[in-house]
Amino acid sequence: MEIPDMQHQVMGYDRSATMFSPDGYILQVEYAQKAVRLGSASIGMNCSDGVLIVSDKGQKDILIIPDSAEKIHEIDEHIMASAAGILSDARILINHTRLIAQQHRVTYDSPIEVESIIREISDIQQQYTQHPGVRPFGVSLLIAGKQGNETKLYTSDITGNYYEYYSAAIGENDDKIKEILRKKHKKDMGIEEGLKLAFEIFKEVLGDKFDINRFNVAIIKKDDSKIKKLKTDELKKYI
């Protein structure tokens, strides 16, 4: 069966990350965004007294040691990250930003700003949509941390864009989660209220699959400036 000439032409646009389709899309980027939505979700909230990330690790093989499947990573003592999509791609970006953060401390004797980290990640992701012979990073990152007297929350996407958020979600069902956040998240909400809301959302989204053991949770308080990871037993009071 012969394939029409037009179909031949359309099929060619997804061969490279540097070629725009007639509709104005880079199809490799579109495919990478779908990969992100296949990853388990994370919710971030910038609260009145600090910032939090709640990450769903997903359903893992019972043979896997739970502590080896962490979804929240430390970039510096005051900055943390969670990812959705191809987590090995995220590891490359996180390791790179850890190095940048330590170089900043050695050079300037001060902690790096959260926005400098998200900008570094986004610049790299953008480069991988513009060079032939490479594929885009199939991952989005949620970056949270302390900057000056304030806490900050950012997300990066496949294209290299980034924005600061009051609350955000990445990964599976992110559209549904964001819709609930738009209705229920309040700017003056504290960390404890934020954690209760995050688990309420995950309960609604996951349904029968909800299990407290499948979550990683970390917070950074404004009066502390350091990452604190919460243990499973500490999470039960928020459900």
Query: Is 33 in contact with 156 (CB distance < 8 Å)?
Result: no
Give the per-residue pLDDT at 7: 47
Give the per-residue pLDDT at 19: 80
Name the burial class of residue 6, with classes exposed (0-12), middle (13-18) and buried (19+) by CB atoms within 10 angstroms of its CB: exposed
In a domain, 210, yes or no: yes
In a domain, 27, yes or no: no
Q: How many other β-carbons are positioned within 10 Å of the β-carbon of residue 112?
A: 23
In a domain, 23, yes or no: no
d(CA 176, CA 234): 27
pTM of the model: 0.90
Residues whose CB falls within 8 Å of the CB of residue 81, separated by 6 or more in sequence, listed in order: 72, 73, 75, 90, 94, 97, 141, 142, 143, 144
Which is higher by pLDDT, 67 or 32? 32
In a domain, 25, yes or no: no
Give the per-residue pLDDT at 10: 54
Residues whose CB falls within 8 Å of the CB of residue 124, separated by 6 or more in sequence, listed in order: 93, 96, 137, 160
Name the burial class of residue 19, with classes exposed (0-12), middle (13-18) and buried (19+) by CB atoms within 10 angstroms of its CB: middle
Domain with 67 in it: 34-238
In a domain, 20, yes or no: no
The number of CA neighbours under 13 Å toward the Cβ of 122 is 18
What percent of the chain has pLDDT above 90?
Answer: 75
Give the per-residue pLDDT at 79: 98
Q: What does the pLDDT average to over 13-19?
A: 73
Count of the separate structural domains present in the chain: 1
Distance of CA 79 to the CA centre of its chain: 13
Name the burial class of residue 64, with classes exposed (0-12), middle (13-18) and buried (19+) by CB atoms within 10 angstroms of its CB: exposed
Give tens-digit pLDDT for 63-74: 888 777 889 999
Query: Is 153 in contact with 168 (CB distance < 8 Å)?
Result: yes
d(CA 150, CA 88): 31
Give tens-digit pLDDT for 136-175: 999 999 999 999 999 999 999 999 999 999 999 999 999 9
Give the per-residue pLDDT at 24: 82
In a domain, 168, yes or no: yes
Which ranges constitute the DSSP H helices of the chain? 5-12, 27-37, 87-108, 114-127, 174-184, 191-206, 232-235
- Token pair, residue 184, equals 């229920």
d(CA 96, CA 85): 18
Give the per-residue pLDDT at 9: 54
In a domain, 10, yes or no: no
d(CA 91, CA 86): 9
Residue 217: CATH number of its domain: 3.60.20.10
In a domain, 138, yes or no: yes
